[in-house]
Structure 1
Amino acid sequence: MWKLLHKLKDAVIYDADREFYAKVFPDSVAPRDLLRLRKMDHADLPRVLTIENENYEFPWSEGIFKDCFRAINYTNWVCEAPDESIVGYCIISVMAGEAHIMNISVSPRFQRQGAGRKMLEHLIEYARPRAEKIFLEVRPSNPGAIDLYRKTGFREIGVRKNYYPAKQGREDAIMFELDLVPRL
């Protein structure tokens, strides 16, 4: 039963009641709560690539995103506004009891409005029945993301030296971990 429920939840995350109440009582629902997550498909790539290029000096190529579609242990999502415009995307890999957040990115026009948190929380819930731990890396030069990860319960577990390309050579990555299995 739970597996079927998770499969259905994986297809589309949508709450029609929230959208209804937002239309009838506009101040009753936060804009973040109207965002929907759905599986990414190939038709989403132009918008996803636009967001990727807006956010990163060294963006992923279209080929990398296509590889993410082909990898059987990767799941790719887009985050949509009520008008169905894509405001962000996220990619997770789950294998051998571990989950790894590969990418979370929000359009600059929608940053600091809850889309990143919504996607992160979704990835955590997606991984919870499939993995014991979830990992990610982040640039030290991205304090907003670091703050979000810490507030969501991630803890710093190390540094990967020279992990990211940067204008002045390479930049380290801070490694974060979140336990998905409650400790007794």
Structure 2
Amino acid sequence: MKGYPLPLEQTTHTGLKLSFRELERADVAPVMALEQQVQSHPWRASSYDDCLDGRHHCWLAEHQGQLVGFVVVAWAGGDGELLNIAVAPQWQRQGVGRALLTLARERVRPFSSMLFLEVRVSNRQAIEFYEREQFSEVGLRPNYYPAGKGREDALILAYQF
């Protein structure tokens, strides 16, 4: 969704100044490198091509020109889905995740009445974060995620606008 106006800057509750922009082709490698630091099974480059082609929407958060996080969403048929969100380890717990989630909700809201996401059942930190952000558990997807040994269930969470 190129050209959709973004809030250019936001300051987190810790005083961190963030700027936001849309993913560009040159960003794919740094985004993948960031994701590899925080995800056990990161996306392939082809998944980010969907963002560049307009099927999904990816926004980057930067601090002083340095990539600190990103979020990927999609929407159709009145529902939105948070597909991916990541914050570089050295920038976690400074409000970056909350700022990215807020941005995602702002972008999805005009097109959706609900924002859904899946999260590994073992990821208690993320589940607690989403619960603080008013997401509610609405279901379970058995064997959804690849895991070190076999598969892992995903909780389905939803935020109602």
Which 5+ residue runs of structure 2 have no aligned equivalent? none
Q: Tell me if 1:79 matches 2:61.
A: yes
Q: Counterparts of 1:46 and 1:74 in 2: how far apart (Å)? A: 17
Partners in 2 of 1:164 and 1:99 — Cα distance?
20
Greater fraction strand = 2
Letter paired with 1:64: S
User: TM-score with structure 1 length normalisation?
Assistant: 0.80
> Is the partner of 2:110 in helix, strand or coil?
coil
1:120 and 2:101 matched: yes
Aligned-pair Cα RMSD in Å: 1.8
The more displaced of 107-116 and 60-69 is: 60-69
Structure 2 residue 62 is the aligned partner of structure 1 residue 68:
no
Corresponding position: 1:30 with 2:24? no
Q: Residues 57-116 of structure 1: CA distance to partner in whole angstroms, max 9, x if unpaired?
A: 21111121113322x3411110111x1111011100011111000000111111111111
- Runs of 4 or more, structure 1, over 3 Å off, are none
Give the number of the structure whose residues are more often helix, by fraction.
Answer: 1
Alpha carbons 1:11, 1:39 under 8 Å: kept: no
Q: Which has the higher contact order (CA 8 A, sep 6+)?
A: 2
Alpha-carbon separation, structure 2, partners of 1:144 and 1:38: 26
Sequence identity of aligned pairs in percent?
34
Structure 1: give runs of 5+ residues left out of the alignment: 1-6, 19-28
Q: Find the counterpart in structure 1 of residue 27 from structure 2.
A: 44
Distance 1:98 1:63 in 2: 23
Deviation at 1:15, TM superposition (A): 4.1
Aligned to 1:169: 150
